[in-house]
Amino acid sequence: MAAIGSASGATYERLALLASPTERAQEAARIMASTHDWVPFDEAEAVVVLGGDGYMLQVLHQMLDTDRVVPAYGLNLGTVGFLMNRQKSSRALEERIARARPVAISPLRMDAVTASGETQSCYAINEVSLLRETRQTAKLEVVVNGKTRIPELSCDGVLVATPAGSTAYNLSANGPILPLGANILALTPISPFRPRRWRGAILPDTAEIVFRALESVKRPVLVVADQKEVRDVSEVRVRAWRDHQLTLLFDRGRSLDERIFAEQFMS
């Protein structure tokens, strides 16, 4: 088998193929099965992912869960496909991967302490979000690098987003779009009531952010790290997990940072 190189100089001799369970992705996987000598994921140097953004996030989380991290090249067979490449191209897949640009993504690590004193740790590639559990407004203390920045934030919630996730929930909450490579995080309130004029902050990804739930019995709060949820939290600690970087491969001219740049000019 010929080695497949990337624009970074890396070569991938063994490729795995993973497809979401949707009919469209499974049909594409059947067609592609005979086009390459695919190997099992645990033997692969890189993986081709068929599906949408949700499935790509699932694959990336699987890598972190198993501590088997390899570059991922996605082909969009979903809806938005922000983390994916276009399915149709005049170039062969091997050539596209050889020319692809690698983009490093640092996930977030979230450590949550529940009202019962239990600690749960999760990670997020897009964002960590705290949300009120009932009709009662959440009240949160916001601490950054050991210093209380907001003694009492009354809101529906608050989130910390990575550059890769800044165009997801963060953008819907009127948070800023972050360019890749800037080593920053977005701290964005969700429907803030008081302080009414606070619209969030941009922080270096070396910052440690702590949220403490105030009046947690009356105003219970849950936290979500991408799709993983922990309910009735009393304290949540968030920081970039920089020693567990992930790598996405993008076609030239369609890289993630270019999409983030272009998103800022969309009406």
Who contacts 160 (Cβ-Cβ below 8 Å, separation ≥6)?
A: 108, 127, 128, 129, 185, 186, 187, 188, 209, 238
Q: How far apart are CA 126 and CA 57, in angstroms?
A: 9
Q: Which amino acid type is present at position 157?
A: G
Q: Is 129 labelled as part of a ligand binding site?
A: no
Q: Is 79 labelled as part of a ligand binding site?
A: no
Q: Which of 228, 222, 208, 200 is nearest to 138 (CA)?
A: 222
Both structure tokens of 70 = 């390899």
Q: Which amino acid type is present at position 129?
A: S
Triad 243, 234, 157: Cα angle to 5°:
80
Beta partners for residue 4, in sequence order? 12
Q: How far apart are CA 208 and CA 185, in angstroms?
A: 11
Q: Is 258 labelled as part of a ligand binding site?
A: no
Identify the active-site residue in 37, 42, 53, 111: 53
Q: Is 232 labelled as part of a ligand binding site?
A: no
Other CB atoms within a 10 A radius of the CB of residue 63 amount to 17
Q: Is 213 labelled as part of a ligand binding site?
A: no
* Helical residues (DSSP H) of 100-220, grouped into ranges: 169-172
Both structure tokens of 202 = 């941009």
Tell me whether residue 65 is one of the annotated catalytic residues: no
Q: Is 207 labelled as part of a ligand binding site?
A: no
Q: Is 164 labelled as part of a ligand binding site?
A: yes
Q: How far apart are CA 63 and CA 109, in angstroms?
A: 15
Q: How far apart are CA 244 and CA 257, in angstroms?
A: 20
Q: Is 126 labelled as part of a ligand binding site?
A: yes
Q: Is 168 labelled as part of a ligand binding site?
A: yes
Q: Is 201 labelled as part of a ligand binding site?
A: no
Residue with tokens 């590639």: 125
Q: How far apart are CA 149 and CA 68, in angstroms?
A: 38
Residue ranges at the known binding site for NAD(+): 53-54, 126-127, 156, 164, 167-172
Residue ranges at the known binding site: 53-54, 126-127, 156, 164, 167-172
For the annotated catalytic residues, the residue numbers are 53
